[in-house]
Amino acid sequence: MTTFLEIRDLTMRFGGLMAVDHLSFTVEHGQIHGLIGPNGAGKTTTFNMISGFYKPTSGQVLLRGEDISGLKTHEVARRGVVRTFQHSTLFAELTVLENALVGTHMPFRPNIFAAIVGWDKEDRIGAEARAREALEFFGLDHLAGERAGDLSHGHQRALGMAVAYASHPDVVLLDEPFTGMNPEETRRMMGLMRNLRDSGITILLVEHDMQAIMGLCDTITCMSFGKFLAEGGPKEIRNHPAVIEAYLGGARHVA
């Protein structure tokens, strides 16, 4: 059986700087997998390469054995790997429901001719049902008519995930989902992610909040200065000497 998601020898060089240096790890299907490391370790760069925002200098990203590195973002997304963004990147001018509807772009691909003539009624009904389902999943259904830009910070984050969820992804890449959240919001968000995993979606997340990472992840990969450092369950990682040293070296970055 082929591995679900494999990162193999992934390398990114910006001019003379090795941002990511021959990084390899695998993500198991149905797990919550954390990617951690001190600031500047190259987590976000790795993330951007997996999601197609950057084209790696060398190396591969294999999804079920297929190399998806170097594909454009929308092509990666169409293979089932969907990312969210740091901060509150949303369609602020559109309503919450419309945001989720954009998320249904892949399962219900719009057809312009059908749309003009009106033969896409079923698709529109299906897309709206899926969008409402996604909103409900993240507890946003009562806000469907609000302008996305007017939502609270926590709700905006949840909406970001709902947009991703609406597209029926296999893998969701979450970029620092807990940043700027209070403990209560963090706790609720962790619950949402477990639900997401239990519905069969694999999660790969980059995060600074150690507490959340340790309480949430099934497997954690730690990197430092662009290189693979250690991998294991939360307990192993917490007690791993190399990890402790890497974080002590940059202790002020530990959240």
Partner 1 sequence: MLRAGIWILALAAFLALPHGLSFSQQEILVFLVINILLVASYRLLTLTGEWSLGHVVIMGVGAYASALYTKELGIAVPLSMLLGGLTAALVAVVLSFPLFRMKGFYFLIGSFAAGEIIRLLWKRFREPFGGAKGIKGIDPMPDFSVGFYRFDFFEPVSYYYFAGIVVGVCLWVLWRIEKSPVGLTFHAVHWQDKLAEASGVNLRAYRTLAFAIASGFAGISGALLAHYVGTINPNSFDVEVMVFVLTWAIVGGTATFYGPILGCIALTVLNEIVLRELGFEQMRPLIYGAILIASILFLPDGLESLVQKLLRRKAAPAKERVAE
Query: Residues interacting with partner 1, by CB under 8 A?
Result: 51, 53, 72-74, 77-78, 82-85, 89-94, 98, 101-103, 105-106, 108, 110-112, 115-116, 118, 120, 123-124, 127, 163-164, 167
- The torsion angles phi and psi of 69, rounded to 5 degrees, stand at -70, 140
Q: How far apart are CB 246 and partner 1 at their closest, in Å?
A: 30
DSSP string, the chain: ---SEEEEEEEEEETTEEEEEEEEEEE-TT-EEEEE-STTSSHHHHHHHHTTSS--SEEEEEETTEE-TT--HHHHHHTTEEE--SS--S-TTSBHHHHHHHHTTTTT---HHHHHHTTTHHHHHHHHHHHHHHHHHTT-GGGTTSBGGGS-HHHHHHHHHHHHHHT--SEEEEESTTTT--HHHHHHHHHHHHHHHHTT-EEEEE-S-HHHHHHH-SEEEEEETTEEEEEE-HHHHHH-HHHHHHHHHTGGG--
Q: Among candidates 225, 204, 124, which has minimal Cα distance to 242?
A: 225
**Of 21 and 43, which has the nearer Cβ to partner 1?**
43
Q: How far apart are CB 35 and partner 1 at their closest, in Å?
A: 18
Q: How far apart are CB 104 and partner 1 at their closest, in Å?
A: 8
**Of 1 and 116, which has the nearer Cβ to partner 1?**
116
**Of 29 and 124, which has the nearer Cβ to partner 1?**
124
Q: How far apart are CB 27 and partner 1 at their closest, in Å?
A: 18
Q: How far apart are CB 115 and partner 1 at their closest, in Å?
A: 3
**Of 41 and 127, which has the nearer Cβ to partner 1?**
127
**Of 108 and 247, which has the nearer Cβ to partner 1?**
108
Q: How far apart are CB 96 and partner 1 at their closest, in Å?
A: 13
**Of 83 and 197, which has the nearer Cβ to partner 1?**
83
